[in-house]
Amino acid sequence: MQLEKLLKRPSALPSAPKVVRKLIESFDDEDVDPIKIAMLVEEDPALTAKLLKTANSAFFGITRNVTNAREAMSVLGLIKVRALVIAAALGDGFHQVGGVNMSQFWRYSLNTAALSRYIALPIRIDENTAYTAGLIHAVGKLVMHAGMPEKMIELDRSVSMLDLKRAETERALFGYSYAEVGAALAREWSFPKRMIDAIGHHTAPFDKDVYEPIAGVIHIGAWRARAEEHERRSELLINTYPDPVGVILGIDPDIVVADQIPSISRQDDVSESAD
């Protein structure tokens, strides 16, 4: 199916709720007030409930339950709260996606977000964009499964969703991958251009005269999050590390090939954004 046809399918691209559109607009506000953002989130009780469910899950390991968006803001911070609410809205748009283990999908996505921020900080790349784009970088997978379920389930049988060669296989079959699809959704929801570019280029961040540092950060974060899902350890991590991307960004490989990284959660209890 051509990309343009996929994007026109009513089941493929959900609409952004009003609250989420306002949250996305706030990315360009350098003086954004976290309390005002929390109050904005609380205007949507359904999204607030999803935020609290995720915030209180074992994934984040907080020591006390948070009961409202303002408490979540004080415990998790603006970057995480805003990104989690956006992810919750995306989850609403894909409540049930055939052939996708949604708990694994969101655990992998949350780990990619945390790793992307962890990688971005020491090399002085915008942690906000890295975290948010890392969290939603794979949403194109959900769009593709929702828009052409039979073709995707067939593909899943031969190449798993988290296989390192997944994007390459999708491009060979369809002429595009989940990355381009995710960028199209981000564009539809009016995300900042830097996030759209990061999502769209993260599978090949420096190919064909493209140079998108945040895409490179997500590329490595997603690689490490996949390795965690496959329970790969030191030797295999070193053998599959995307060294060319790391060299260009100036990343110390030791911070991501270690078996134990503080930014990775191994908790099975991830409150799905689609619940």
Q: What is 73-140 written as a DSSP string?
A: HHHH-HHHHHHHHHHHHHHHHTS--TT--HHHHHHHHHHHHHHHHHHHGGGT--HHHHHHHHHHTTHH
Sign of CA pseudo-dihedral 202, 205, 209, 213: positive
Domains and CATH numbers, the chain: 3-257 (1.10.3210.10)
The predicted-structure confidence for 179-213, as pLDDT tens digits, reads as follows: 999 999 999 999 999 999 999 999 999 987 778 89
- The whole-number pLDDT of residue 86 equals 94
Backbone phi, psi, residue 211, to 5°: -135, 100
pLDDT per 10-residue tile (average), the chain, 275 residues: 84 84 92 94 93 90 90 94 93 77 91 95 93 96 91 93 94 96 94 95 88 94 92 80 94 86 72 53
The predicted-structure confidence for 89-122, as pLDDT tens digits, reads as follows: 988 887 667 778 888 999 999 999 999 999 999 9
| Residue whose entry in the numeric block shows the structure tokens 């974060």 | 221
CB of 92 closer than 8 Å to CB of 14 = yes
Q: What is 3-53 written as a DSSP string?
A: HHHHHHSTTTSPPPPHHHHHHHHGGG-TT--HHHHHHHHTTSHHHHHHHHH
Distance of CA 113 to the CA centre of its chain: 6
